[in-house]
Amino acid sequence: MTKKVLVSVWAKQYETSKPIADAEITDMETGETWRTGKNGYAQLEVEPGRKLTLKFNKASFPPVQTASVTVPESGLTGENREITLQVPGRKLYEALKLALGKPKKGKHHVVTTVSALGKNLHDDRGEAGVVVTLKSTDGKTVRSDGVYLGTVLGKTEWLRPIATARLPGLKRFRHKNTSHDGGAMFLNVPPGDYILEATKMGKDGHPVIFTTANVRVRKDSPDLINISPPHSPHVVPKPKP
């Protein structure tokens, strides 16, 4: 009998942070499906050692894909190991699609949240001042044209990111790195395997250390791929001297 391990999946709405119940979670490699409970959680049993890429579906929300995560022998459970889905409501998604543009044919939008040290999606605390790069695993593609959200009066700001993403003449006015929410977007990404890398110089003059994230953009991926904590880039403690 093939060994399987436990993987926890948690889905929440972006705008309200409320868990999303009765959503379908699909393993994009095998087609196997599960459903979330009232607390937004689904418990999966999968074979360790392989990459797991999941897709979220529920009628009142857009379909969303996760990062591609290699399942360890110990499984993936707990707030700092589980796979998460941060899903915008349908109204917000349609507004953003109108503002930023629907992905071009055969391409997809990749969104990520860089999280601060010791934080995860339950904390909703991103890392500010980070530059995110999207690199193909074959080394042929390196994108540093991420769209970053801003901050106005302590709130996430959308107007400038949208305007500078849509109008080529305003590109030089884009935010250069993440704000307090840690968000970054790469528009119109073609199918392929990618790595998200994060860089930032610390206050001590030394580089901050981040994990990387794996992204598998498939031909059948939904328009929106959201790489959310804890499997997005996040700050890790510096090694002790």
CATH of the domain at 9: 2.60.40.1120
**Residue 234 located in a structural domain:** no
Q: Same domain, yes or no, for 118 and 188? A: yes
Which tens digit of pLDDT belongs to each residue from 177-195? 999 889 999 999 999 999 9
CATH of the domain at 145: 2.60.40.10
pTM over 0.85: yes
The Cα diameter of the chain in Å comes to 60
d(CA 129, CA 87): 24
Instruction: For residues 102 and 214, state if they share a domain.
Output: yes
Token readout for 94 is: 């349609």
How many Å apart are CA 193 and CA 214, to the nearest integer? Answer: 7
- Structural domain contains residue 196: yes
Q: Is 165 helix (H, G, I), strand (E, B) or coil?
A: helix
**pLDDT tens-place string over residues 138-164:** 888 889 999 998 777 677 777 787 778
User: Is-contact 241 77, C-beta < 8 A?
Assistant: no
Whether residues 119 and 209 share a domain: the answer is: yes
The pLDDT of residue 149: 82
Give residues with Cβ within 8 angstroms of 179, minimum separation 6: 126, 128, 148, 149, 150, 151, 156, 157
